[in-house]
């Protein structure tokens, strides 16, 4: 390990300069060929925590890998530097860090489990042990990050800071060095926010007003200048919007590889924060999507009142843009519902439910997407655009169609599919359909014998349902085939960066390798790099002389993500023909595209083929078929399709129940409509249109009372 003689931090040997202050790194002092020993290593604090080795050092103290002796658990222990032991302000700041972090219970905030002071005045904090690297190290080696990766990291950082703001904490020192990325072997990276040592803690006064307690005096400046807000540089009163500004700086750096303001001294940087406008990120990196640049620049407004009010508002705005762009991201975690568990499992003859963990993860990801789609757009067109996965500027030849399923009560003599008033409520309907009519996971797909399931995306911009490969990574590859195999190993573990590198190496050694082109396309697709993925899929198809069903399907899927419906349909048709007409997922996706283009009869035909090729069991396709049949005014057939969707989900299909309620109400079956609406609200108690449904229920109950 190397260390910075100015700030004392340690870094890996592949760095030359300190990322924080630019000082050239040095090797540790040695005695007789060995690094000088740390007197604290091997010591046991309060008969509980044995310090096993130093992990790093900061301005106030060092962090050690330690063992909790009572429960034999590895932990991290941060020890206050002894030169600060007599400094009451430093000790209070240390206690503040423990208290602030201890108040948070969030996946993306480091967990503090203990705080103590030994008899010889050694002050320490005990935290969870993290394995990985800081965002500062990542940026020093790999910046700028691609949009999908940067967004994924920032969403998690913002989630932790939002939790802090909700707990009355303003961090005040957000920077890449205080953000840690934990790389787990079987899951995407998890981001942790650290170091609440100079945080402001908000408590209640006796008069009920909020009071901000801080160790610094008024009009003082504290923090890291490159990431400080204008009001922080001016020593003014801080609000959560100050942390939002810091998040904007960090996001700017992830996307461009540099911070917006630099200078020869901290004061020079602080003056720029207060007086200069940041250079637009797209002037530095023109591959940054316009909507992400908008999010960054909004967070960097000089006036705190013009920024998002807190990290929660910033995160919601960023999440909305990520959904619009179709970026894969780790937006958070949610508890699985019973419906998710049933969908992700198989019921044995004895009645036991065997859960497929990968399918459960996929269902949870799809559910999170649906919840956010329901309130993200401002207009009908924007909401449809998001729901169908279209880009922000779809080609003019592909107008965003509206899935006109009504939700409001209509006048009695007017058919609900003809009533112009229905069109005004389309936005609410689209949200109901989002979980099914989006480009989401297709868990029911059973590929034909001619298609390798691992070659196809299924219904996701992520790996298929195959479980992560067990064991360690294959040995260091030498041939194209070995690089391809190791790439498949990393891909199964969702390490798309390393998978991409191995597939590229395989193609370097063997340029004509269609399977590697296809797999490389899938890795790029998983990272949100659609244009590059399309090129790889087309190369794979070309090298197979136009007969590669999985690559043709993947090409269609990617084009569908980009809103190129015409070419996506052609690709799906080619996949179907190459596969010998047996490719249910290609039929399903074609059905959704045709539905969005208002080609209802063709959509219904494609969805029927998907259902047939899945042995009749495909609730998603049944539901979409019901939509297409309603548009064709085939009410009886639509009822059967919605009912089949409900039955195949064991009754747990809230959106299908809702549409059945509409259908029954319009066909003068009030008792049936009443039942379906009640089931819908039971299964979806937090429905965004709950008030409308309750109005329908009251009207139906009054009618039933009058009839009786």
Measured between alpha carbons, how far is 307 from 699 in angstroms, rounded to an integer?
44
- pTM confidence score: 0.46
Q: Which of 173, 502, 585, 620 is flagged as catalytic?
A: 173
User: Is the peptide bond preceding residue 144 cis, with omega within 30 degrees of 0?
Assistant: yes
pLDDT of 39: 83
Domain boundaries, the chain: 1-37, 39-127, 133-325, 439-632
What long-range pairs does 644-648 form, CB within 8 A, spacing at least 24?
644/619, 645/619, 645/620, 646/619, 648/617, 648/618, 648/619, 648/622
Measured between alpha carbons, how far is 85 from 81 in angstroms, rounded to an integer?
7
The CATH number assigned to the domain with range 39-127 reads 3.30.200.20
Query: What's the length of the chain?
Result: 708
Q: In what order do the strands lie in the sheet with 10-11?
A: 10-11, 2-3, 26-27
466 within 8 A of 454, measured Cβ to Cβ: yes
Mean pLDDT per 10-residue run, the chain (708 residues)?
Answer: 60 65 57 55 92 80 89 90 73 74 79 86 88 88 89 93 87 90 74 74 40 39 79 86 96 95 85 92 92 95 94 92 71 44 51 50 44 31 32 27 29 35 39 39 36 56 46 75 90 87 93 93 86 93 92 90 86 90 89 89 93 90 92 92 92 89 88 90 79 85 79
Has 173 been annotated as catalytic?
A: yes
Helix (H, G, I), strand (E, B) or coil at 117: strand
pLDDT of 15: 64
Please state at what angle helix 240-256 crosses helix 311-325, rounded to 10 degrees. 30
Any idea which architecture 439-632 has in CATH?
Answer: Alpha Horseshoe (1.25)
Measured between alpha carbons, how far is 120 from 286 in angstroms, rounded to an integer?
57
Distance of CA 183 to the CA centre of its chain: 15
pLDDT of 422: 39
45 within 8 A of 118, measured Cβ to Cβ: yes
Give the position of tokens 């301005």.
59
Report the chain's C-alpha Rg in angstroms: 28
Please state at what angle helix 619-631 crosses helix 584-596, rounded to 10 degrees. 30
Instruction: Name the CATH topology of 133-325.
Output: Transferase(Phosphotransferase); domain 1 (1.10.510)
Distance of CA 566 to the CA centre of its chain: 29
């Amino acid at each position: 390990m190397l260390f910075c003689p100015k700030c004392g931090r340690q870094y890996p040997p592949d760095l030359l300069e300190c990322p924080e202050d630019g000082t050239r790194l040095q090797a540790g002092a040695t005695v007789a060929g060995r690094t000088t020993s740390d007197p604290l290593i091997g010591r046991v604090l309060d008969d509980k925590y044995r310090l096993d080795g130093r992990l790093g050092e900061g301005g106030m103290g060092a962090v050690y890998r330690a063992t909790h002796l009572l429960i034999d658990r590895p932990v991290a222990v941060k020890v206050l530097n002894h030169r600060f032991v007599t400094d009451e302000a430093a000790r209070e700041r240390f206690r503040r860090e423990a208290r602030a972090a201890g108040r948070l219970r969030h996946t993306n905030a480091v967990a503090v489990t203990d705080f103590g002071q030994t008899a010889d005045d050694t002050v320490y904090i005990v935290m969870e042990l993290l394995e990985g690297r800081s965002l500062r190290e990542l940026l020093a080696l790999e910046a700028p990050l691609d949009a999908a990766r940067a967004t994924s990291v920032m969403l998690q950082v913002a989630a932790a800071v939002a939790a802090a703001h909700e707990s009355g904490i303003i961090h005040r020192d957000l920077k890449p060095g205080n953000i840690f990325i934990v790389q787990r072997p079987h899951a995407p990276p998890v981001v942790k926010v650290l170091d609440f040592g100079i945080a402001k803690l908000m408590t209640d006064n006796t008069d009920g007003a909020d009071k901000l307690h801080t160790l610094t005096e008024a009009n003082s400046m504290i923090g890291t200048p490159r990431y400080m807000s204008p009001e922080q540089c001016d020593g003014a009163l801080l609000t959560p919007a100050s942390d939002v500004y810091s998040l904007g700086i960090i996001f700017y750096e992830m996307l461009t590889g540099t911070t917006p303001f630099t200078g020869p001294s901290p004061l020079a940087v602080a003056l720029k924060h207060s007086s200069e406008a940041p250079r637009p990120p797209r002037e530095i990196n023109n591959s940054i999507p316009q909507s992400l640049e908008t999010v960054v620049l909004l967070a960097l407004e000089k006036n705190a009142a013009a920024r998002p009010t807190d990290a929660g508002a910033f995160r919601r705005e960023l999440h909305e843009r990520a959904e619009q762009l179709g970026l894969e991201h780790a937006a958070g975690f949610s508890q699985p519902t019973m419906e998710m568990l049933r969908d992700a499992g198989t019921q044995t003859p004895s009645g036991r439910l065997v859960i497929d963990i990968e399918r459960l993860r996929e269902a949870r990801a799809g559910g999170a997407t649906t919840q956010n789609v329901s309130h993200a757009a401002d207009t009908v067109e924007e909401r449809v655009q998001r729901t169908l996965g279209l880009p922000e500027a779809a080609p003019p030849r592909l107008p965003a169609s509206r899935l006109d399923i009504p939700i409001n009560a209509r006048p009695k003599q007017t058919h609900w599919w003809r009533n112009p008033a229905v069109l005004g409520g389309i936005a609410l309907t689209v949200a109901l359909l989002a979980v099914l009519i989006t480009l989401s996971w297709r868990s029911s797909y059973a590929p034909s014998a001619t298609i390798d399931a691992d070659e196809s995306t299924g219904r996701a911009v992520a790996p298929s349902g195959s479980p992560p490969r067990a064991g360690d990574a294959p040995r260091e590859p030498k041939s194209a085939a070995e690089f391809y195999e190791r790439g498949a190993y990393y891909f199964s573990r969702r390490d798309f960066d390393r998978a991409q590198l191995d597939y590229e190496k395989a193609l370097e050694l063997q340029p004509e390798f269609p399977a590697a082109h296809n797999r490389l396309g899938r890795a790029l697709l998983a990272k949100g790099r659609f244009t590059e993925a399309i090129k790889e899929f087309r190369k794979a198809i070309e090298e197979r002389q136009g007969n590669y069903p999985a690559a043709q399907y993947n090409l269609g899927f990617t084009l569908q993500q980009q809103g190129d419906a015409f070419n996506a349909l052609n690709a799906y048709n080619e996949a179907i023909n190459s596969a010998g007409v047996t490719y249910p997922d290609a039929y399903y996706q074609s059905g959704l595209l045709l539905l969005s283009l208002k080609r209802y009869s063709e959509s219904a035909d494609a969805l029927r083929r998907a259902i047939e090729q899945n042995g009749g069991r495909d609730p998603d396709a049944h539901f979409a078929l019901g939509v297409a049949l309603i548009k064709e005014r085939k009410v009886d057939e639509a009822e059967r399709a919605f009912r089949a969707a409900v039955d195949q989900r064991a009754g747990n299909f809230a959106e299908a129940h809702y549409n059945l309620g509409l259908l029954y109400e319009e066909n003068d079956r009030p008792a049936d409509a009443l039942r379906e609406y009640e089931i819908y609200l039971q299964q979806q108690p937090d429905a965004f249109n709950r008030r409308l449904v309750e109005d329908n229920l009251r009207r139906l109950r009054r009618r039933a009372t009058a009839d009786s």
